[in-house]
Amino acid sequence: MYKLTTLLAALSMAPLTVLGAEAVEPQDLADQWTAAYNAHNPAELAGLYEENAIAIRHGNLVLRGRQAIHDYWVDDFREGNP
């Protein structure tokens, strides 16, 4: 729940988020992220980020690039997290 709350708080700060060349409403992006997370789909989660994205996770973990974000979720889901 903490992860989702953090994402939603960050998304609510901007009226539009640019995903590639397509403008996406923050709620739509949050819904896509939530669906991918609930499906435990690291490829779909990573696909929501730009290739050179930087994601900062709790505990000051910094993920650099789409592949690092993908690998993080692969490991996270492997540990049996929700």
Looking at per-residue pLDDT, the higher value among 36 and 7 belongs to: 36
| Cα separation, 20 vs 4, whole angstroms | 22
Average pLDDT of 50-63?
92
- pLDDT-based confidence at 2, cuts 50/70/90? low
Strands 61-64 and 17-19: unpaired
> Over the chain, what is the mean pLDDT?
81
Q: Which residues contact 2 (CB under 8 A, 6 or more apart)?
A: 58
Say if residue 30's pLDDT is above 50. yes
pTM of the model: 0.69
Q: In 3D, which of 18, 42, 48 has the Cα closest to residue 30?
A: 48
